[in-house]
Amino acid sequence: MRSRTQVGIIGAGPAGLLLQHMLARHGVDSVLVENRSREYCEKRQRAGVLEHGTVELLKEIGLGDRMVAEGLTHSGIYLQFAGERHHLDFPSLTGGRTLTVYAQTEVVKDAIAVGHPIHFEVTDTAVRDIDTERPVLSFTDAGGVAHEVECDAIAGCDGFYGVSRPAMPALRVSERTYPFAWLGILATVPPSTDELIYAHSASGFAMHSMRSPEVSRLYIQVDPDEKIEDWPDERIWEQLQLRLGHPGWTLHEGPIAEKGITPMRSFVAEPMRSGRLFLAGDAAHIVPPTGAKGLNLAVADVKVLADALVRLLVEGKADLADAYSQTCLTRVWRSTWFSWYMTSMLHRFPADSFTSAAEAEFQERLQIAQLRQVTSSDAAARDLAENYAGWPLP
């Protein structure tokens, strides 16, 4: 079946869904395809911390009502190390910016609920003719019908393993794999903290986050080759107690509803545009979750891309589309740096990362010195807070 649209969008994660919605608000037609089911997309656990700019954008485009009603507003984070726990107050450091804890799954649900047409459970997705003004998106729908959609532009929002990035010629790839992973859990227990705790400890990094007043989200650093079967609930709670423990504070335990291990890596592919194919979100870049940048970076990409496509397809001007890759990559690399900074400061590197015990001790002493600098210097604290709370959207 052959058809025509203005923008073909691959991937029903936050990037693809928000792009479809923003384009529709400007009268730009699109076709969105996703190889997973709607149920899978709405249950997939990912990020949960929204920057100030992301929150304001979601409200501006009409997707913020439930977020405002149910999201948890946070004014900062705790940094814990060497038996100390320090709070960084973001509003006082950034001129009023706050964070909102609202799970990516909820952002996805809100965008799907608008009712824009989406083809779920497609197969054989491919793109061609991206170097022309009429690129083609092809796929087979859930009913087995093959489609070829002629587009004015195609947006690859299909993640690291999608089909979009491999279709881009002459990509430059920069990447780093970290020598540890995160074991994350969702626990049916009220959070034991009012704001996120980032803990540096001799046993490894740990983090206490949350999803709602009834559900806690917690992480511990593990070796990248660990198997989830080797981590029964008792062992997880034991390590969380050890790494997050602090005098006068209690970590409450509860049933673990979900757990999984996520590798830690940085990845940037550039340019993010070739002809009429544009990459956005995880299709172009991945950052470690330590700096809470992944979802927010995807939102920034699609804000730039939506503006560029509206200007190209409605106004007939290509300037923003031509600048898309460089505009996004400036922010991408800043986010990549900040995620590396937070990751390097807080995690315990394995012994085989060093040539001697003295070198390992040197690294740990540097981390403690850096944490003390951040928690004792207004300038250092402001720098962390401004990066974490996020920069204005383009």
Active-site residue flag, 324 = no
Selecting among 74, 147, 200, 303, the annotated active-site residue is 74
Distance, CA of 365 to CA of 375 (rounded, Å): 15
Angle in degrees, CA 52, 58, 63, rounded to 5: 150
Nearest to 208 by CA among 224, 234, 184: 184
Q: 133: buried, middle or exposed (CB in 10 Å: 19+, 13-18, 0-12)? A: exposed
* DSSP H or E segment with residue 197: strand 197-199
- Catalytic-role residue among 208, 293, 303, 347: 293
Q: Is 74 a catalytic residue?
A: yes
| Cα dihedral value 267, 44, 272, 311, nearest 10 | -150
Residues 6+ apart with CB under 8 A from 109: 42
> Is 43 an active-site residue?
no
| C-alpha to C-alpha distance for 79 and 197, rounded to whole angstroms | 6
In angstroms, rounded to a whole number, what is the distance separating the alpha carbons of residues 215 and 313?
44
State yes or no: is 40 an active-site residue: no
289 catalytic? Reply is yes
Dist. CA 247–CA 295, nearest whole Å:
34
The single residue of 289, 303, 324, 347 carrying the catalytic annotation is 289
| Catalytic member of 78, 102, 178, 198 | 198
Strands 76-81 and 72-74: unpaired
Residues taking part in catalysis: 74, 198, 289, 293, 388
